[in-house]
Each structure stands twice: as C-alpha cells, then as structure tokens.
Amino acid sequence: KQEVTQIPAALSVPEGENLVLNCSFTDSAIYNLQWFRQDPGKGLTSLLLIQSSQREQTSGRLNASLDKSSGRSTLYIAASQPGDSATYLCAVGIQGAQKLVFGQGTRLTINP
C-alpha cells in the first residue's frame, strides 16, 4: 500500500528565505507526482506536476524534483513571500495517474 509522508509538518521562516519541503513515498511505481497548495478552508491549487519519466519541473519561484528510485520529491521555494503562507500537499498518482495518495501536508508560514 502506497504511503506518502511530508516533512516537516509545519515550517515558519522569515520573508525572503529560500526553503525546501520534502515528500517521500514508499512505492516507486507511480505515474506522477503533484504538488498542491491549500489555503485555509479552501480547495486545492495545483502547483507543479512531474510525470514519472521526468526529474523536475519549474514554475516561477517554484521548483519540484522527483527521484523515483529513492521515493523522494522536494519542492523548492525561492525568495519566499508572506503570500506563500499555506499548506502544501504532495500527492502521487497511482493506478492510472488520476487516483492520488496524499501526504499529510506541510503548513508553511512566511513571516513579514
């Protein structure tokens, strides 16, 4: 059974810092990996999608990497801003890519 773990559970940093969120999964047989952002009481915003054949994806200040063999992914956020404060969820696609197993999330707070 696939399990996804995110470390740390919570992170608080000053504005402007670069930071890394970690995600690990137990079964390397994944179709893809997605990083999402969730604001309090809201739905999911897709940030980055990495297909199983890819190593990384970039969007603006965000960069996500994928190492299938070791079962790990990282989300790098450069020059953090208070608006980046949210919960970040990592999810792996199984059984056809659309079915996702989520991690518990990292609650990020960027202090002005």
> Among the candidate windows 18-26, 60-68, 69-77, 102-110, which touches another protein by CB under 8 A?
102-110
Please give the residues from 60 up to 99 whose contact with another protein meets the rule CB under 8 A. 89, 91, 93, 96-99
Burial 81-110 (b: 16+ CB within 10 A, else e): eeebbbbbbbbbbbeeeeebbebebbbbeb
With residue 90 as reference, give the H or E element that holds it.
Answer: strand 86-94
By rule CB under 8 A, what count of residues binds another protein?
23
- Least distance (Å) from another protein to the CB of residue 46? 7
In the chain, count of helices (H) and strands (E)?
Answer: 0, 11
- 21 contacts another protein (rule: CB under 8 A): no
The residues that touch another protein, with contacts defined as CB under 8 A, are: 31-32, 34, 41-44, 46, 49, 51, 89, 91, 93, 96-105
